[in-house]
């Protein structure tokens, strides 16, 4: 895979389509030094952007919380996102819109900096290795904790919040794990480094932490809706690490992670059970509904064609029989 700075195509950059390799960012940009940057992550499935409006709404929420005034409306960002996906001809991929403070000021105070906005997109498969995803990934427990909600704008996708995620994931990978489970400031289960977490108990109910110090993921909410539509009880509550051994199943949810089974958290083993596989399958059907609609349309067209052909054959058969009867009579 080519490095991200060596790819080709266009990037939507401050309301212009700029060649991928011509996009420039000054080394003294405030966002680079002080993490004054917010972003989103979206998926494209079969050429369609999944939940674009919800992601854009969250981008603007993050920006407002970070005192960043995006110089475009939500509708303009939505249209720009659709445009760059079309220009790049991305069919199944990832979208990264983001906004950051420029280089006009280099200090903690940066109220006179220009706000820049860019939207990039590229073809992309699965976040985790497909083989690992089917077997279930393994997590350690990070030494880093999600900050208390009164110490940081916790309900945003602000770049600074991901510093401890990177540290946690690097440590996990060095120790032979795929990802890392993070606890909150009170020592309860919070999330993985870039995904929300669910557990299944022996009664078939789901349990997931209350998102009161970490991001309430869009995929998380979607999976909860799917589960409830299947009459699966979802318990949103505080979960102690001491409870990990009592659960029989576990999975992660996120735009990148989608629905990913977990087979192990330290010494605790979990089964990739049918409930989790069914939720994963239902999520896949939801995000690829255009493909499902197209398939249904194709099947309907084929059925119509077969019906027409059979009708024509029946008419031709009747005509032949009539001719044979007339010849016989005469």
Where in the chain are all domains bearing CATH 3.30.470.10?
A: 8-123
Q: What is the pLDDT of residue 217?
A: 97
Residue 69 annotated as catalytic = no
Contact in structure between 77 and 59 (CB atoms under 8 Å): yes
Q: What stretch(es) of the chain map to CATH 3.20.10.10?
A: 130-287
Q: What is the pLDDT of residue 302?
A: 45
Rg, C-alpha atoms of the chain: 26
- Residue identified by tokens 């854009």 is 56
Please pick, among 10, 51, 157, 169, the residue that the annotation labels catalytic.
157
Distances (CA, A) of 265 to 105, 137, 139, 271: 45, 9, 5, 12
Note the pLDDT of residue 40. 98
**Averaged pLDDT of the chain:** 91
Q: What is the pTM of this model?
A: 0.86
Angle made by CA atoms 268, 254, 272, in degrees to the nearest 5:
35
- Give the separation between CA 156 and CA 133, rounded to whole angstroms: 27
Angstrom distance (rounded) from CA 131 to CA 126: 11
Choose among 235, 231, 219, 234: nearest CA to 286: 219
Pick the CATH number of 130-287 from 3.20.10.10, 3.40.50.360, 3.90.870.10, 3.20.20.370: 3.20.10.10
Distances (CA, A) of 182 to 111, 144, 213, 269: 33, 7, 12, 18
Nearest alpha-carbon partner for 115 in 62, 162, 161: 62
Q: Give the whole-angstrom CA distance, residue 267 versus residue 215.
A: 27
Q: What topology is assigned to 8-123 in CATH?
A: D-amino Acid Aminotransferase; Chain A, domain 1 (3.30.470)
Dihedral, CA of residue 81, residue 83, residue 84 and residue 87, to nearest 10: 160
Residues 221-259 pLDDT 10s: 999 999 999 999 999 999 999 999 999 999 999 999 999
């Amino acid at each position: 895979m080519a490095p991200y700075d060596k790819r080709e195509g266009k990037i939507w950059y401050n309301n212009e389509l700029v060649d991928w390799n011509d996009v420039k960012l000054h080394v003294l940009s405030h966002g680079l030094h002080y993490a004054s940057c917010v972003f989103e992550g979206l998926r494209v499935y079969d050429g369609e952007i999944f939940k674009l409006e919800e992601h854009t709404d969250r981008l603007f929420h993050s920006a407002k919380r970070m005192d960043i005034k995006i110089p475009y409306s939500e509708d303009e960002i939505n249209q720009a996102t659709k445009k760059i996906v079309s220009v790049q001809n991305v069919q199944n991929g990832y979208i990264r819109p983001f906004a950051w403070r420029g280089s006009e000021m280099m200090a903690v105070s940066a109220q006179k900096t220009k706000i820049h906005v860019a939207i990039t997109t590229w073809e992309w498969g699965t976040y985790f290795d497909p083989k690992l995803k089917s077997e279930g990934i393994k997590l350690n427990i990070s030494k880093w904790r999600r900050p208390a909600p009164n110490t940081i704008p916790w309900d945003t996708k602000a770049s600074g919040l991901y510093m401890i995620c990177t540290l946690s994931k690097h440590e996990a990978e060095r120790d032979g794990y795929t990802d890392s489970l993070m606890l909150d400031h009170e020592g309860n289960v919070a999330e993985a480094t870039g995904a929300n977490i669910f557990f299944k108990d022996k009664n078939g109910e789901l349990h997931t932490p209350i998102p009161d110090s970490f991001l309430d993921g869009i995929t998380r909410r979607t999976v909860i809706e799917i589960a409830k539509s299947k009459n699966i009880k979802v318990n949103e509550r505080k979960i102690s690490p001491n409870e990990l051994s009592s659960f029989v199943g576990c999975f992660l949810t996120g735009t990148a992670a989608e629905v990913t089974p977990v087979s192990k958290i330290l010494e605790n083993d979990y089964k990739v059970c049918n409930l989790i596989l069914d939720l994963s399958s239902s999520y896949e059907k939801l995000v690829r509904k255009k493909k499902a609609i197209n398939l249904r349309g194709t099947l309907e067209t084929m059925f119509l064609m077969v019906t027409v052909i059979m009708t024509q054959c029946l008419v031709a058969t009747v005509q032949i029989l009539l001719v044979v009867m007339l010849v016989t009579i005469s």
